[in-house]
Structure 1
Amino acid sequence: MLIPNTSFDVLEDTRPDDVSMPAFMVSTTRGFLPRMDPIVTLPSEFDAVEDLLQSMPVSTRSGRPGFLATGQLGDEVQKLPDLTETIEKYRGNIPLMNALYRDYSFLASAYLLEPCHMNFMKGEPYGLARSFLPAQLSRPIARCAELTGFKPFMEYAGSYALFNYRLQDPDKGLEYDNLRLIRAFEHGLDPLSSEAGFVLVHVDMVKNSGPIIAGTMSALSALGKQNGADPTVQRKTFNEGLRTVLGAMRKVNAVMETMWGKSKPRSYTSFRTFIFGITSQSMFPDGVVYEGINDGKPMSFRGESGANDSMIPLMDNLLQIQMPSTPLTEILQDFREYRPSNHRQFLVEVKQCSEDLGTKDFALGLDPHYAASADEQKELLLESRRLWVKLLDQVRDFRWRHWCFAREYILKQTSHPTATGGSPIVTWLPNQLQAVMEEMVEIYENVGGQVGPTDLGAECRDIMDLANRQRDTLRKEVDKYCQERGVGVRG
């Protein structure tokens, strides 16, 4: 299924047995999840890697303390053979390369941040992480990253979250209670732990992304057939696409709300130590030298962050939400590089297609070109506007909850000033959240959403009342935290 006016193919058949394709390919069925369930078991040549990963977590699968509980991982890594040449034997199997990338990135993060974890366990500041990654880790992760299109450091999709689940019972599929972690740092091999909950809720959210993509494709395709199209049929098809996206986004937000019960705020800061990136972090003042890579020059990567998920960026691009021109938005743009390459291209193509086809103009119908004449067309246009406002509201809901997570899981638990991806905690999320609410207010006013024949109804009025209240609350909260932490309010 091609995005209109492009050659980008969105999969309908994910071809799960085809090992020549990347593990992450956007589809209308599995959405932004990998096109097959992640590979769990490595070939026997990598038994030394598997054994080390099994013995690494603070609490191992058996329940006994692992190397991260005793601070022994650094010594054990030195005993690991360099298996870079063995990787070449399997280079044609891209999903396996993704599994090896996942596993080596877990080892690399744990190795580099182990000293910070030991300080944290003693109630001390993080201090400095290791700044040198030995060849037996640096060369394999660099090679796997090259073959899969990731950066040679832990990422959200390819490593920590979306390629890090297994099914307890394959017949039960992607039901939450059937999900287990493949790799973990702390207690995540226990499915009831906060670490498992943190990761698996993300998987549970993204399993709803297939209809988001299918609805997006339907809406864009309706506009891609403008020449000679019956305007009533076109508007109905467009609205149906938006309605599909809206239903899926509501499910995503409902799953996101379960995070509170499945991953406790006071538990997050302990396993969070291992998912910090290198960029803009006090633990890595001079970056990290990868032995045998980049001519020995230090490198920095943003690393793992839920901000690298592709669902909300897709909404931003489809709905043409304008972000302010600030350094905080530049960080948002930098995060784009930390996604699977197929996801990155898809988001770029949707953005360009939505702009080229005038999706926002069509939805709102303010341009005389899209003016409705017949009664049926007028009602369909009002429905387009309602759906547009409701979709913006789902983006607001997602970002508001993300801000609430940051407040309760991070700001109230630690004074460390940056999130795992290196963004400033107090101001970065509000930068995007404020932009969405401003967009909602502007659009609602422009379409005359609460007066006369253009009234969008009680549900949209309630939506806008909430958005206005949250806009005021957000400003007060950000000002409060900025003042307490000595942070510039506007970042």
Structure 2
Amino acid sequence: MLSLKANDIKLEDYDISFKTGFLLENPLETLPEYFDIWNQLSNSLPELIDAGLVRERVLQMPELDANRLTSHRELRLAHIQLSFIGAGYIWQDRGAVIPELIPKCLAVPWYNVSKRLGIYPIISYPTLYLANYKLIDQSSNITTIGKLPGGEHYEWFVRVNNGIEIAFIKCLKPILDILHNVENREIGLIVENLQIISDCMLELKSLLSRIHEQLSAVEFYNVLRPFLTGWGGESSPMPDGLIYEGIENNKPLKVMGGSGAQSAIFQILDAVLGIKHSADKQKYLLEIRKYILPKHRQFIFDIESLPYQVKTLVCDCGDEELKKEYNKCVESIKLWRSYHIQIITKYIVIPSKKVTNKNTSLSSMGTGGTSPMPFLKDLRQDTTDAILS
């Protein structure tokens, strides 16, 4: 079997573009008339949650045939609608009362849509961000398609993260150029592209800092966060997972909630720059990849499988300017990871210490279902260790 070459990697083969990056271009806002009940429930979800009526309305819902969804965009919108409705069904009471199962009328189409997309039936990163936006004016201002409690605070949360995705687009060509130029040992061109990525990382960090402008820790932790939480594992109030009625012989499924770790961005940067993680952390990162869309996931794997790596070239060629720019690029990722730890501390760790709720397991975990700080600090240390002396 011929080994993959950098020239074989073309963004269009991975559903990635220089226009929208990993975001779905022109996502649908409404499903066909047959699926009107999903349209209606998802559009009124915050009000139904506030009134405590989500479960009642879901139980009245007919089981629709998801096979009547015929396009990728329809599937992506259906996944938003069903995942948001599912989150509302489970977390309507913010964990005070948790249903034993997701009813068949919701579970079967939700599972079907998820399987066709190659992701899990849960609000995950591709659903919360990558297809959950629409343009509201010619200035590229966006709002969300799916609705959750939190109003403008929730909207801001999604907009900031999608702003980061959009800003990362300017890294895509430099990444491809680095992969190509490593094969040809074009040192000067690699230096230029590393500089672009370093500058872009500082911009991403600046964009992340804007989260404070319209989202308080109290609003995120108490209002929005419960609906982004998964189920299953020792840290969950549902340690055995949750039954999706009519699916997998009613065996409970364990799934992670949506988190920034499910973005492809930083696994791509780790792959490009050769930032390595220990076996246990790499195992967890591979598990997280299952929540990344399959073609985006394949993009990471293909970068990792290339026979030529920039870090190897930096170590072997002895060019001091190249090493300097490589280290600067790795340092920019370290700075991002340090700032991300500050964000998690403000929005999850500190609020969790103030919680007296009986669901302490739900209170102390990140939306992905794990205690985030040890993992994030380990990733930062691995990034520090990748800096060459």
TM-score normalized by structure 1? 0.73
- Given that 1:279 and 1:421 are in contact with CA atoms closer than 8 Å, whether structure 2 keeps it comes out as no
Other-structure match for 1:361? 312
Q: In structure 2, what is the equivalent of residue 187 of structure 1? A: 150
Given candidates 308, 313, 334, the residue that maps to 2:287 is 334
* Alignment partners' CA distance in 2, 1:215 and 1:266: 39
Rounded Cα–Cα distance in structure 1 between residues aligned with 2:200 and 2:290: 26
Which of 382, 387, 392 is 2:325 aligned to? 387
> Is contact 2:191-2:322 (8 Å) kept?
yes
Task: Work out which structure has the larger RCO, using CA pairs closer than 8 Å and 6 or more positions apart in sequence.
Answer: 2
Aligned residue pairs, count: 376
State the AA in 1 paired with 2:364: P
Structure 1 residue aligned with 2:179, among 220, 225, 245?
220
1:323-373 deviations in whole A, cap 9, x for unaligned?
A: 1344x54323311111010111001111222xx21310212xx42xx24xx
Aligned to 1:206: 165
Q: Which letter does structure 2 place at the counterpart of 1:33?
A: L
Pairwise CA distance, 1:144: 1.0
Work out the percentage of aligned pairs sharing the same amino acid.
22
- Return 5+ residue gaps in structure 2 as ranges: 354-362
Separation in structure 1 between the aligned mates of residue 26 and residue 204 of structure 2, nearest angstrom: 20
Question: Alpha-carbon deviations, 1:381-410, whole Å to 9, x = none?
Answer: 333222211211221121111110111111
The answer on whether the counterparts of 1:215 and 1:243 sit within 8 Å (CA) in structure 2 is no
2:369 is aligned with 1:422: yes
Structure showing greater radius of gyration is 1
CA distance in 2, matches of 1:251, 1:48: 41
Q: Any gaps of 5 or more consecutive residues in structure 1?
A: 13-23, 58-65, 118-125, 227-233, 372-380, 446-491
User: Is structure 2 residue 75 aligned with structure 1 residue 81?
Assistant: no
Aligned twin of 1:38? 27
Which amino acid counterpart does residue 193 of structure 2 have in structure 1? G
Alpha-carbon distance change, 242 to 185 in structure 1, aligned in 2, over 3 angstroms: same
How far does residue 4 in structure 1 lie from its aligned partner after superposition? 2.7
Is the 2:236–2:369 contact (alpha carbons within 8 Å) kept by the matching residues of 1? no
Among 116, 138, 143, which residue is 2:112 paired with?
Answer: 143
Q: 1:303 to 1:411 in 2, by over 3 A?
A: closer
How far 1:30 moved relative to its partner?
Answer: 2.4
Matched, 1:98 2:76: yes
Query: 1:171-190, CA deviations, whole angstroms, 9 ceiling, x for partnerless residues?
Result: 322xxxx11111122133xx
CA contact (8 A) 2:27 2:132 kept: yes
Contact 1:215 1:241 in 2 (8 A): yes
Partner secondary structure for residue 172 of structure 1: coil
Query: 1:6: Cα distance to partner?
Result: 7.1
Q: What's the offset of the Cα at 1:282?
A: 2.5
Distance 1:249 1:154 in 2: 26
Match status 1:25 vs 2:4: no
Q: TM-score, normalised by structure 2?
A: 0.91
> CA separation in 2, counterparts of 1:333 and 1:147?
20
Give 3-state SS (helix, strand or coil) of 1:407's partner: helix
How far residue 216 of structure 1 moved from its aligned partner, in angstroms, is 0.8
Specify which of 167, 171, 175 is matched with residue 135 of structure 2. Answer: 167
Partners of 1:128 and 1:282 within 8 A in 2: no
When the two chains are superposed, the root-mean-square deviation of aligned CA atoms in Å is 2.0
Change (3 A) 1:420 1:220: same
User: Which segment is superposed worse, 288-297 or 417-426?
Assistant: 417-426
Conservation of the 8 A alpha-carbon contact between 1:31 and 1:212: no
CA shift in 2, pair 1:90/1:184, >3 Å: closer
Instruction: State the distance in 2 between where 1:285 and 1:7 align.
Output: 43
